[in-house]
């Protein structure tokens, strides 16, 4: 009788890029667009504050994982240090949040494809990407890790390309629809480049200062 043993199918390269790809979600491409449009570059401050809070939380979780290594998820630490009720609540809250994230991701995919192919119903794109994701998860571990690596690398390349494109718009100006090229003003407008922290363009105007009644007073 042959005894089969488990073998490690993921390398460190796969695991690193899977973590990086998970951090770069659909919200960074779709959800951030509305935030940047409304708040301008000051949205970076919100990202810095949220990133600092997440970093401290992950450091604390890493210390608990090193001190008490378990096969379960972080819900185990909530059960051990806070009680079984909080462990149960933590685990199912995380499961619910992951379900909502998956639904938001496939919905965003349908919205993007609807912009390029407006005649095709969006539910077809949503159903198609659900089958694609299910097929990827049914692959072997090594194939899944390799696919995740290349898809995560594609996200990184897209972000770098958008950053370079934004710098190009800031430095070279904005090309309008008619073909004319208008240079971005260095002291005014949403892309002000001089003294960003002291420029009024860095922060969105307050409702009180932009209303006609406030201006008349």
The predicted-structure confidence for 98-135, as pLDDT tens digits, reads as follows: 888 888 888 888 888 888 898 889 899 999 989 988 88
Q: How many domains does the chain have?
A: 1
| 146 within a domain of the structure (yes/no) | yes
| 148 within a domain of the structure (yes/no) | yes
Cα–Cα dist 79/61, whole Å? 14
| 108 within a domain of the structure (yes/no) | no
Residue 32, both tokens = 């951030």
β partners of residue 182: 174
Burial (CB < 10 A; 0-12, 13-18, 19+), residue 81, is exposed
Cα–Cα dist 187/201, whole Å? 8
Question: Could you list the mean pLDDT of each consecutive 10-residue stretch along the chain, which spans 217 residues?
Answer: 70 84 76 78 86 90 84 83 88 90 86 88 90 86 87 88 82 57 45 43 48 47
Domain that holds residue 146: 139-173
| 161 within a domain of the structure (yes/no) | yes
Cα–Cα dist 204/41, whole Å? 9
Query: Do 193 and 184 contact (CB within 8 A), yes or no?
Result: yes
């Amino acid at each position: 009788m042959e005894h089969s043993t488990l073998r490690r199918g993921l390398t460190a390269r796969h695991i690193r890029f899977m973590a990086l790809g998970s951090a770069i979600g659909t919200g960074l491409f779709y959800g951030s667009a509305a935030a940047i449009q409304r708040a301008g570059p000051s949205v970076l401050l919100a990202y810095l504050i949220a990133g600092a809070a997440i970093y401290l939380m992950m450091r604390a979780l890493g210390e608990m994982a090193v001190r008490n290594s378990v096969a379960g998820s972080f819900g185990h630490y909530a059960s051990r240090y806070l009680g079984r009720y909080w462990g149960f609540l933590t685990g199912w809250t995380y499961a619910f949040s992951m379900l909502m994230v998956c639904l938001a991701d496939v919905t965003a995919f349908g919205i993007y494809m609807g912009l390029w192919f407006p005649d095709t119903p969006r539910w077809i794109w949503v159903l198609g990407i659900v089958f694609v994701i299910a097929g990827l998860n049914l692959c072997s571990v090594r194939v899944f890790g390799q696919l995740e690596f290349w898809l995560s690398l594609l996200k990184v390349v897209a972000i770098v390309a958008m950053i370079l494109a934004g710098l190009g718009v800031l430095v070279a100006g904005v090309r309008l629809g008619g073909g004319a090229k208008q240079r971005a003003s260095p002291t005014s407008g949403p892309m002000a480049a001089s003294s960003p922290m002291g420029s009024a363009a860095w922060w969105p105007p307050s409702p009180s200062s932009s209303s006609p009644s406030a201006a008349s007073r």
